[in-house]
Structure 1
Amino acid sequence: MGGIGIWQLVIVLLIVFLLFGTKRLKGLGSDVGEAIQGFRKSMGGDADAQVQQQQPPLTPQATVQQQTDRQA
């Protein structure tokens, strides 16, 4: 008594699917995901964005130099 069981969760999820439909829930889920990504980027917690910022962009001269180094 006092806890939410598995059957109560199943019933709630079934009612949510019936009320909103899968298309609307899919759109809502993608919107929430984008909002979370934006929040992480603004807080500096996105490791991928930090790695990309630390690497200098490749210039055509640097690309040619890397290719000649590999051949030698």
Structure 2
Amino acid sequence: MGEISITKLLVIAALVVLLFGTKKLRTLGGDLGSAIKGFKKAMNEDDAGARKEADSDVQVEKLSHKE
């Protein structure tokens, strides 16, 4: 009873398609994909900003040690 077989997954998938329809599922998938892309882009921009700040801090430290 605790196992999920391929037939159970197919039945659930068929019920979801019948309830929502393919057009609504396609739209939902597109929205989910764009949300994930936006999240990844924001994370990469945040990482780039943090690296830039860290690099500038290292440059300041190098200059101050030379004096």
Q: Please report the TM-score for the alignment, with normalisation by the length of structure 2.
A: 0.64
Deviation for aligned residue 1:34: 0.2
Deviation for aligned residue 1:2: 1.7
- Per the alignment, residue 19 of structure 2 pairs with 19
Deviations for 1:15-34, whole angstroms, at most 9, x for unmatched residues?
00000000000000000000
Aligned residues: 46
Deviations for 1:36-69, whole angstroms, at most 9, x for unmatched residues?
0000000008xxxx8xxxxxxxxxxxxxxxxxxx
- Per the alignment, residue 29 of structure 1 pairs with 29
Structure 1 unaligned regions, length at least 5: 51-72
Between 1 and 2, higher relative CO (CA 8 Å, sep ≥ 6) is seen in: 2
Q: CA RMSD in A?
A: 1.7
Bigger proportion of residues as helix? 2
Structure 2 unaligned regions, length at least 5: 49-67
Q: Please report the TM-score for the alignment, with normalisation by the length of structure 1.
A: 0.60
